[in-house]
Structures are given as structure tokens and as C-alpha cells.
Chain A
Amino acid sequence: MDALFLIGPLAIAGISAVLAAVISIVDLIVNNYGECRIDVNNGKRELEVTGGAPLLSTLAENGIYLPSACGGRGSCGVCKVKLLSDAGPILPTELPYLSDQERADGVRLSCQLKVKSDLKIEIPEELFAIQQFDGVVESIRDMTHDIKEVRIRLVGPQEISFKAGQYAQLVSRPYGNVKTAAQRAYSMSSVPSDRRHVEFYIRLVPGGVLTTWVFEELEENEPIRLVAPIGEFHMRGTDACKICVAGGSGMAPLKSIVLDMYEKGLTDKQVWYFFGARTRKDLFYVDELQEVEKKWPNFHFVTALSEPQPEDDWKGEVGLITDVLDRYLKEKVGQDLPKEGYLCGSPGMIDACVRVMQNNGIKEDKIYYDKFA
């Protein structure tokens, strides 16, 4: 075989090798953003980070958790951050989620903004309190046919402080066909005084990533990770009469709030809690709350079934929770008291209850509900 035959392939290989080396060198130079400094809230925190990654994940790696509903994919618009320095023009992937006012104010999507130079940013103060926790599942109990109570003992950090009514983002793990982790928000049903534990009521959503994981995969004594505390849903300290409405897993934050108020001795306040469901088997935690009702004269617990079955032998209120609420507001709750509304449930239920409350004289800015839905 003629050695000259090999010159062709060798020449191609040689040239390709040289070009590959050039590409690698350029990559190293161009994509190396070096060390960047991020100033958060005018000096409240200063971070030294390696540039190149999106702001959202860079902040998370440094213990600052911005909320995100889509995990940094650029499809939810929740991870907004206010930029006080210049970081280049707004990317086409950010435009659909920013209003004109936000663009003028320098608001950006932190999952799309890459850290390429020093930055000055501003984030809401509450976000500093959010931490990542590793815990162990202490118990999983069935409350109804589609709601489980999950109780977690915190391991690292060991204690949490939060306001009753706030929520946490639970992190699932890959299993079976599911190859990625996911994060979803759930209100905490445990009382803040129990600093070593957090508890959730989780309702199975058909096709839901996290609820399916909890119902099919998660077992007691397994580790679990969460990010908490998040949210602005909590009891306001005014003297107004508190009208609370929830259904299904919406019980969680209200259970935390009611028990917290009782523990702290805030029993001079009038609290009405309306809990709606379809049939008896959708109710849970009723006995415990009726016990509280006995000990706390100003606390009224009203359960209503919209379609009680004959075997339920139901003696309580019947009808849609919005109708029961309307009736009570007109007939049973003191007319002269100022009132506040606290709602937790599906957006449809919340909209309907807001209308009923407004019709009964409760102002819109005095009606509170978890907006993360």
C-alpha cells in the first residue's frame, strides 16, 4: 500500500485538530466571565460568584431563593428581579412577561438574565428569610380518599420559623419514567410553635407531577427537601371579625392559623371558619376543630356539604359553601362588626367567595388569599 495514500486523510485530520484547538481556546476566553460581584438590596448582601450562569440559579446557589413556578425555563414569569445596574438589553424571551412599567423600572426575568458582569439588584425583603431545608418524612396519613397528611421532621437546618398561613415549595425526586426533579408549592398546616416539624395536606391532582410522586413513591423515613417559608397569607392583627373559607386541602393554612391563634391566646377575636365539601368522606380534621370550638367561644366552625349522600346521615348545613357563607353573613355573623376575609381553595371558589363577601360589605382590600395559585 502506497504511503502517499494516507496523506489525504492525515491532512484532513490535522486541519480538523488545529481548528478544534482554536475553538476550544476561543470558548475558554469568550465564555469565561470571571468573578462577578452581585450587590443585593444596596449592600444588605454582597455575593462573589462565578459568572456565566443565569441569575436565578446563581442566587439559589448562594442561599437566596427567588420564587419560580417553572424551574427556570422561562415559561412562568414569576422570577422577576429589579435591576439597578445595566446588564444589556431585554432578551426576546423575557418580553412577553414584562409590562411596559416593569421594563421602564428595570425589572428582568432572573432565569433568562446571565451573570456576565457586576450587578446591583433589588429583591423583596421577605425573600431573605427563605431557606432550603432537608428533612425526613415522619408520617404519611390518609385523611380522605384523595388527601394525605405529610409530616416532616427537619434535619438541616433543624428549626424553622414562619408565620401561620405561609407555604413551602416541596422538591420531588426522579422516579420511574420521570427523569427530573420538580418543585411545587403547598401551604404549611403545622403550627409555627412546632419549630422542628412542618406538615402539609396534599391533594392528589390527576397528572400532577408532585402529588403523584407523593401518592405513589414517597414513603415514611425517606429524605425530602423543601424551600420555605414563602407567601403573604397570614392573619392580620386587627380587631376585625375574621371570616375564613376553605375547601379540601385549603384546610392547611387555616388549620395552622386557627391553632396558632388559640395557642397565642388571641381568643378575644371573632373567627368564623367555613369548611365546604361535597360528601362526608371529603371532610377531615372536623373533630379536632370542633374541640377547639368548645374551648374558644368566639371561634365558630361551620361545615357544609353540597351533595350529602343518604349514608352520610348529615345533620349539618347543606349547599354550596358560597351560599352557606352568604346566609351566615346575612343572618348569623354580627352586622356591626368590621370584617376581614381569609380564603384558601381553587381560584374558582375564591372568585365566588370574594363576590359573596363584597356583596356583604367586606371591602376587596380586606379579603386575603394565597395568590400563588
Chain B
Amino acid sequence: MKMSPELKQAQENMAPGVITAEGFLGTDRRPLVDIIEADEEKMRLFEIGFEEAHEKMAYLLKEGRRGLGDPITVDDTWIVRTDEARGFLPCPFEDGVFRKVTATVTRRETDSEITFSELSLHLLEKHHFLQGTGSSFRIEPELLKETLRL
């Protein structure tokens, strides 16, 4: 499918070393627009809304901040560790800059775990982009549903 110049630029910005060392596409060779479409389909399949996922993840990230870099228990259900490094990360879609805040959320009962950052949250909410397969920050819908109890 033909991509607009903005999407092409975003895909270029997602290459390794442009914004992050690993990039946002992992080992995925598909064009960006196909990745987004396939993931939108997956989220529909698992009946997860992008807004509701974003709300939950943003809440957990905020609560995790109270630990000042160390893991804390949130709502008796999750262990959240929110870490922050200095500096900013620009969004590959060139619509904002984000602090380097990363949260690792583990659900106590099942031990399932997801890792996401402020930037990957923005990519999920505004661009429906969950990152390419093989990326260490990829948000897999199935794992998301299980960990967040959506």
C-alpha cells in the first residue's frame, strides 16, 4: 500500500540508531502502514480498545514513579518499576518529544510482564503503533490483555 511522505519519514526515523539504538521495527520487514493495520486487527480480535489500554498503562506508569526507580506494588495486583534516564526522545512521527521514562509491569498472579515507555504509550494511543515484531519494546496485544487484566 502506498505510504504518504509523513509515514515514509516515520519509518525512516524508526531505523536503528536514529532515535533509539535498536529502532522501533525489530526484525519486521513489512511497511509501517501494514504493521499498524495488522495490529489494529489484532487488538480488535482481542477486544482491547486503544484508549482503555493507554489509560491503564499511563495509570500504572504514574503509580510506579512513587518507587523512584525501585519496584513497588500497585493496587495489590501489579509490581511496577518505573525508571527514568536523562534526555528526550522525539516521536518518529515528528509530533512531540518525550522523557525517557520506562515502566516494567508484572502481574503478580500470573507473572506475565510487559515493558513500555512514555514514547511507546504515545505511539500506541495516537498512532496505533505497537512496534515491529522482534523489538524489545513491542506490545503484544495478547500479553497486554493478560498482564493488564483488560
Contacts and interface: CB of A to CB of B under 8 A. Distances in A.
Direct contact of A and B (CB under 8 A): yes
A347 B90 contact: no
A288 to B, nearest CB: 24
Contact of A75 (B17, B69, B90): B90
B79 to A, nearest CB: 14
B68 A184 contact: no
A361 B3 CA distance: 57
Interface string A66-99: 0001100111110000000000000000001000
A76 B90 contact: yes
Question: Which of A73, A349, A372 gathers most chain B CB within 10 Å?
Answer: A73
A205 B15 contact: no
B94 A74 contact: yes
A315 interface: no
Question: Which of B65, B91, B100 gathers most chain A CB within 10 Å?
Answer: B100
A179 B17 contact: yes
B102 interface: yes
Contact of A307 (B13, B70, B97, B100): B70
Contacts of A372: 86-87
A83 B97 CA distance: 24
Interface residues of B, number: 32
Contacts of A352: 68
A329 interface: no
B99 A347 contact: yes
Given A205-B100, A372-B86, A322 B68 contact: yes
B22 interface: yes
Nearest to A248: B69
B105 to A, nearest CB: 16
B84 interface: yes
A69 B94 contact: no
A206 B102 contact: yes
A77 B91 CA distance: 13
Size category of the A interface is 35 or more
A348 B20 contact: no
Given A74-B94, A178-B16, A346 B84 contact: yes
B24 to A, nearest CB: 10
Contacts of B73: none
Interface stretch (A9-17, A151-159, A207-215, A218-226): A207-215
B85 interface: yes
Interface string B10-25: 0001011111111100
Nearest to A76: B97
Interface in A155-201: 174, 176-180, 182, 184-185
Given A75-B94, A76-B90, A349 B68 contact: yes
B96 interface: yes
A70 B136 contact: no
A206 B116 CA distance: 12
A77 B97 CA distance: 9
Q: Nearest 4 pairs between A and B by C-beta?
A: A178-B17, A75-B90, A373-B86, A212-B21
Given A213-B21, A347-B99, A349-B68, 15 more contacts: A73-B90, A75-B90, A177-B16, A177-B17, A207-B20, A208-B20, A209-B20, A306-B70, A320-B68, A346-B69, A346-B85, A348-B69, A348-B82, A372-B86, A373-B87
